[in-house]
Amino acid sequence: MKRPIAYIAGTGYAVPRRAVTNDDLAAQGLETNDAWIRDRTGIGQRYVSAPDETLTVLSTNAARLAMAEAGITASEIDLIVLGTATPDHLLPATAVEVQAALGAGRAMAFDLGAACSGWLYSAQVAEGMIATGMAETVLVIGAEVLSTIVDWTDRNTCVLFGDGAGATIIRHVRTLPRGESRERGILSSYGRSDGNLYDLLWRPAGGVAEPFSDAVYAARRQYVRMEGREVFKHAVRSMADAVDRALDMAKLTPADVDLMIPHQANTRIIEATAKHAGFDMSRVFVNVDRFGNTSAASIPIALADARQQGRVPEGTLVLFAAFGAGFTWGSMVVRF
Ligand code: ACO
């Protein structure tokens, strides 16, 4: 097992004020019902942003909580990496707006696009930058305002997604208080992508290849499109690969893991992943029922939520596994 270089020092999350239940969606005229959504996905509600709840606002609120838990000030942050598919502006990165809002004047800041694997990839970039000596303290955020890019008339997709932000402070182990276990930190990291499958889950228009136009709006190509069944198959396969590889790299078995925190896409994917790895669901954290699929925000929101619930006491070995559009997937084993 490698000696950790970086550890997670603080977590926090923020969601919009308004929760929208499955019944609310049906009442708004969408041809769906609570039983279908719960049975197929496990989702009961999701949060939806108001115009003043931008990606910068949600990210900054989550970041402040993570910084408070880690006991650091904005001036100590060397790097901000923000995983998202829904930046406030296409130029510049939302990470710099978060930097300005926090007053993190010394930080390098950029966004990272890896869809639902956004936080996991960002955490891996943070670990790498810490390993090379370019950073000691990194703010890693996963955040989305997906409600602005889903088609609220398409029941195949809109019921699945939600808005929110999760933040983590990742630091070099040299900042650990004296006497803390040297075992604490990131024990393994694994990531993969497969761009051949990019159009199974994508947003066709809005980039430079297909700019917004009346024809785009008429065909509703500005919104997320998904081949649900195909995505499901690949998600189950990729999550299984992710779990196996991170454990192999850390020379651990599923029995060593205290808690798995998977990407919260839907309970059927999570249960299939747990079954593959031989995890009883009591060792798997699930909160998709309350938040829906918040893409890049899902794992850091779940981590912060799990910590608030007392599920991640000191010494806990956590396995993270993510899967997202691209496709992108990956995993991490972390000792808290
Ligand atoms: N309410 C009611 N009925 C619905 C709804 C809805 N919200 N959505 C679809 N249906 C209907 C369909 O129209 C279809 O009706 P039909 O038989 O009359 O044509 C029927 O339900 C079955 O549809 P399927 O798409 O075959 O349903 P399936 O069992 O495959 O479940 C689902 C659909 C939940 C989307 C599933 O495919 C899935 O979970 N896929 C993975 C999606 C996902 O998690 N994506 C994100 C992961 S990656 C990431 O996070 C970026």
The answer to whether 206 and 39 have CB atoms below 8 angstroms apart is: no
- 222's CB contacts (< 8 A; 6+ apart) are 149, 203, 204, 205, 206, 212, 216
- Residue 16 maps to a domain: yes
pLDDT of residue 180: 73
pLDDT score of 6 more than 70: yes
Regarding the beta carbon of 150 and ligand 1, being less than 6 Å apart is answered no
In a domain, 237, yes or no: yes
32 and 171, same domain (yes or no): yes
Chosen domain end from 146, 175, 204: 175
Q: Is 37 exposed, middle or buried (0-12, 13-18, 19+ CB in 10 A)?
A: buried
In this structure, are 159 and 276 located in the same domain?
A: no
Q: Would you say the CB of residue 158 lies under 6 angstroms from ligand 1?
A: no
Q: Which residue of the set 22, 116, 234, 266 is catalytic?
A: 116
Residues 43 and 144 in one domain: yes
Predicted confidence at residue 1, as pLDDT, reads: 64
- pLDDT above 90 coverage of the chain, percent: 97
Distance between CA 58 and CA 160 in Å, rounded? 20
pLDDT at position 24 over 90: yes
Residue 121 is part of which domain span?
6-175
pLDDT at 91: 96
Domain contains 180: no
Question: Is residue 107 in some structural domain?
Answer: yes
Omega before 327 within 30 of 0, i.e. cis: yes
Measured distance CA(313)–CA(308) in Å, rounded: 10
- Catalytic residue, chosen from 158, 172, 263, 266, is 263
Q: Is the CB of 38 under 6 A from ligand 1?
A: no
For the Cβ of 294 lying below 6 angstroms from any atom of ligand 1, the answer is: no
Do 189 and 240 belong together in one domain? yes
Q: What is the pTM of this model?
A: 0.97
| Number of Cβ within a 10 Å radius of residue 194 | 12
**Is residue 255 in some structural domain?**
yes
Q: Looking at the domain assignment, is residue 86 inside a domain?
A: yes
Please state, for a pLDDT cut of 70, what percent of the chain lies above it: 99
**Looking at residue 178, what is its pLDDT?**
76
**How would residue 3 be classed by pLDDT, with cut points 50, 70 and 90?**
confident
Of the candidates 139, 154, 175, which is a domain's last residue? 175
CATH of the domain at 322: 3.40.47.10
| Co-location of 108 and 89 in the same domain | yes
Q: How far is the CA of 42 from the centre of ligand 1 (A)?
A: 12
95-130 tens-digit pLDDT:
999 999 999 999 999 999 999 999 999 999 999 999
Same domain, yes or no: 21 and 165: yes
Examine the domain organization and report whether 69 and 152 are in the same domain: yes
Residues 91 and 57 reside in one and the same domain: yes
With respect to residue 1, please indicate whether it lies within any of the assigned structural domains. Answer: no
- Is 40 a pocket residue for ligand 1 (Cβ < 6 Å)? yes
Whether 181 shows a pLDDT value over 70: the answer reads no
Nearest CA owner, ligand 1 atom 48? 324
Indicate whether 194 and 259 sit together in one domain: yes
Asked if residue 11 is part of any domain, the answer here is yes
**63 with 84, same domain?**
yes
Q: Are residues 169 and 220 in the same domain?
A: no
- 3-state secondary structure at position 301: helix
pLDDT recorded at residue 306: 98
Q: How far is the CA of 155 from the centre of ligand 1 (A)?
A: 8
Residue nearest to atom 13 of ligand 1 (CA): 156
276 in catalytic set: no
**263 carries an active-site annotation:** yes
Indicate the pLDDT class of residue 212, thresholds 50, 70 and 90: very high
Residue after which a domain boundary falls, among 175, 209, 227: 175
The whole-number pLDDT of residue 161 equals 98
Average pLDDT of every residue of the chain: 96
Q: What is the pLDDT of residues 72-92, one digit of tens each?
A: 999 999 999 999 999 999 999
* Pairing status of strand 317-324 against strand 259-262: parallel
3-state secondary structure (DSSP) of residue 71: coil
* Whether 131 and 234 share a structural domain: no
Say how many domains are in the chain: 2
